[in-house]
Each structure stands twice: as C-alpha cells, then as structure tokens.
Structure 1
C-alpha cells in the first residue's frame, strides 16, 4: 500500500473532525494521498454522502443525526476544501508536516427550544471560524494542533484541540487511534456552560461562573476501507469526557460525548 500522509482536520465534535470543529472536537486522520490511486495530477477530488451523529448541544444528553456532504478536494497539497473546512491553504508543507489556515464552518450551537432544561438560557448560533493548524508525522505517529477563533461574534471564543494519532495500514484498510484534549477560553465556556444572574432568574438554574481551561479529554478513532480504485468508505469516531468548568456546569446533563462521521466517497 502506498504510504499515506495526514493533515489536521475537524470533522467537528466533529470532525468531524469535529474534527468538524462543531462535530468532532479534534482532528481525524485524512489519507491525503488516497486519491492518487485514481490519478497523479495536482487535483485530487473525492465526493460522497455522509452522516453525522453529535450531541444536540455541548453537555446535552440528547443527540442529533443529520446528513453531511463528505468533501475532500485539494490542489497540489496547497489549497483544499474538506469537511467543515470550506477553504484552506497549507502555507508551509513538506513530506511530514503542514502549517496553514482555513475558513471553517462550525455547527456547534444551542437552541433553548430543543430541551426544557435549556429554557431561559438563550440561543447560541453556529457560524464561521478562522482555523490555524499545524501537524507533523513521524513514522506512524501524527501530532496536530489547531486554533479555532469565532469570527461571527456568536460568543464562541477560542478553542484549541491537541491530538496524537497512531496510524497503521492493513491491506485495503487504514486504522488510526489516539488521545487528545481541547482547551477553551473563558468566552467559550461562559457562552456554553456559564449561567449569569439573568439566565439564572429565567431558567431556575444556579448562577455559575466559568473561566478558561481544559474543555474535554477524548479518544479519536478512524478507519477507512478502499472498496475499489474509486470508492472508499470511512468512519471517524471521537469519544470524549467533559472536564473542569464544562463538567461541573448546571447546564451539563451528560459529561460523556460521542461524535461520529461516516461517509462513502467516490474518487475522481
């Protein structure tokens, strides 16, 4: 099997990669050279349907399931559009590393109409974020770090996922697994987990002050399978546990989080 390189991605908890930032809270492995089997040109294109399973809102005991287009488009390993990363650029790149930026859409949100427990807390809207990222691969291990900055003034502040993945190709499969954590600033934790005096009066929940710190620790898993030269299926899963301000918040109903993205892509 051809050697594969990996870049940082929230599909977003997740990804999802989160990571989607709003699906997968951390990076998942991406086989950047997977499309090479279908051609050696600078353009690499893979498209297909996907489905996302993610918490209804941070700390919610409810989950939501919705379709999501699975995209993996890149040009010369420089420009790319992948999952929630609408448009990105690898400003620096090499055989084992990438450093760059992307405009990423974050679906992480909260609607007080979805759950009586949220009444009086107000809504939090998803939106675009600026993503800065870096990853480095040594042998089978890939370390990655990213910073997501809310640029839509929705009170989502900054989050920084840090991850380490071990990846092993076995026949037509690629398996990746590894730990990670997410740091969040005070604005993010206040928006999703804090309770102001006004919110307390409206919701009946106690006042709860927050600050910056570790939002969660998590374990990422990823598997892809090449059905043929053109077809590939993949599943990315992140299992997380809320920490510190997020875990102790009266808004939080469930400390454990499960984010999943499953997709089938056609490589052109």
Structure 2
C-alpha cells in the first residue's frame, strides 16, 4: 500500500496551530506553509525550496479572550536541503537529525502571544505581557498516514512566558491537488507561563478588582487541528490551518479567562519558485 506522508513544511503549519491552541500561532505557521510540488523529470533537482505570499492570522486577542484579532503577515517558506529553514515564525531553524520519516531539530521562533491592558477593560490593573522570542526544540515521526509530533517552546526574551510543550497526532490524506490533515493534541505549560497569563497576584487583585488566583504547571488546553492545502497551479498554492481548543485546569478556571474555547486560524497563498 502506498505510504501517505505529510511533508515537514505541511506538518509544521499544523503543529504551529497545535501549539497555538496555545494562544496564537502564532505559527504564523511555523515552519509556515505549503508543500512544494515535486520537480518534473525535465527539471534539475535543487536543494532549495522558496515560497512566499500574503497570509492572515486569526487568533484570540489574548489567551482567554472572547475577542479575536486579525494579523496580516508575509508567509515565508524557505529551506535548504531539508536542513536549514526560515519558515513562518521560525526565523531560523535547523533539522539536526532528519530522515524519510522523521525530523529532530531546533529553531528561534517568534510568538504572537501577548496581552495589553488597553486590549480590554477586563485587563485593567493586570499589567502588560509582551510577545517574545522562543527557543523551540521539536521532533516528528511518520508511520504510513499518521504523524506524531512534539515541540517545546522556551521564552528567551525574559517576558515571563516560561515554557510550554505541545503534543499532536495527525492523519493525512491527499486527494488530487488537495492535502488534508487532522488530529487531536494537547498543550502543557509550566508554572511561570500559567502565572503570567492566567494568575492574579494580590497586587493585581487590588488594582483590577479580580479575585486573587494562584496557578501552577499543568495541561493548558486540549485541541483539534485541521489543515488543508490546494495546488492551484504549478507555482501557486493556497492553505488554511485551523485549531479549535478548550482551555483546561488553571487556564480554564482563571478569572482572567472570559472564554474557554479558542479558535486559531492561519490562511495563506504562496508563490513557489
């Protein structure tokens, strides 16, 4: 039976949203993207894959918000020899180990998760949380049509976002020019992350009127990922990734949280060289 395997760039697009059931993608999709067409027999093989185009992120205004924000961004997908890449929020990454069915690597990744008091009167007195750069360590493995992945994100900007780990499982199905992937996942966050985004200290309680709320490490959310891409032509491809999540434990019970359900969406149209 023919093996159906989701490509690394496609997987990363979905993973980014598995992660960003954690807040926002982000992954503008990281590694962003879209799968490249296989070169025809008449074309010389090249280790480079380059694609870019407009993209749009739809994500909660802040973790636990009932409002959405819309972020246009340039959807980049650049890689060399499936080794070095710059894709979506992964500004620079390296597949340290790679094979036909697996990748293990690291990257410096931008993260859209943030919170500003001006975003919502509900946040008055809580202070701002700036977006941050993350050190990302990831691994994925594919068996037939199923891909398992895990990624750890560590705040390296000193903005109190701690670390979180997202784990996902995907089933992939190609159909003509389409590729579909879907599957469940969950996100674990450490005590620093949950305290920053969902905790309310005594000082914050006095300033905001919200009750004090202590947090610790635990499951942040459970989520379901969906991804679809379509090869419009030899050079153009469109894709959309959607994550539906549900905040759990400290995140779900926080007085800061106005909505436990989360919707994160990334759509892009890329031109491939």
Q: Does 1:148 align with 2:153?
A: yes
- Distance in 2 (CA, whole Å) between partners of 1:17 and 1:190 is 18
2:12 is aligned with 1:9: yes
CA distance in 1, matches of 2:32, 2:209: 44
1:182 aligns to 2:187 (yes or no): yes
Matching residue within 59, 62, 76 for 2:64: 59
* Deviation by residue 1:132-171 (Cα, 9 ceiling, x = unmatched): 0000000000000000000001000001000000000000
In structure 1, runs of 5+ residues without a counterpart are none
Cα deviation, residue 107, structure 1: 1.2
Which deviations, in whole Å up to 9, do the C-alpha atoms of 1:47-66 show, x marking residues without a partner?
11001100000000110012
In structure 1, the residue matched to 2:272 is 267
TM-score under structure 2 length normalisation? 0.91
1: CA distance, partners of 2:29 / 2:71 = 20
May I ask how many residue pairs the two structures share in their alignment? 267
Q: Are the aligned partners of 2:102 and 2:142 in contact in 1 as well (CA < 8 Å)?
A: yes
2:36 equivalent among 34, 51, 59:
34
Question: CA distance change for structure 1 residues 211 and 105 in 2, over 3 Å: closer, same or farther?
Answer: same
- Residue 21 to residue 132, structure 1, CA distance change in 2 (3 Å): farther
1:159-199 deviations in Å (ceiling 9; x for gaps): 10000000000000000000000000000000000000000
Change (3 A) 1:117 1:191: same
Match of 1:22 among 21, 24, 38: 24
2 CA distance for matches of 1:48 and 1:102?
22
Contact kept, 8 Å, 1:10 with 1:20, in 2: the verdict is: no
Q: Are 2:182 and 1:205 equivalent residues in the alignment?
A: no
CA gap of 1:132–1:21, structure 2 versus 1, over 3 A, is farther
Q: Which runs of 5+ in 2 are unaligned?
A: none
Q: Residues 80-95 of structure 1: matches in 2 within 5 Å?
A: 80-95=85-100
The match for 1:136 among 133, 137, 141 is 141
Change (3 A) 1:183 1:106: same
Contact 1:16-1:236 within 8 A present in 2 as well: no
The alpha-carbon deviation at position 9 of structure 1 amounts to 2.5
With over 3 angstroms needed to count, the CA separation of the structure-2 counterparts of 1:71 and 1:2, relative to structure 1, is: farther
Separation of aligned partners in 2, 1:21 and 1:255? 12
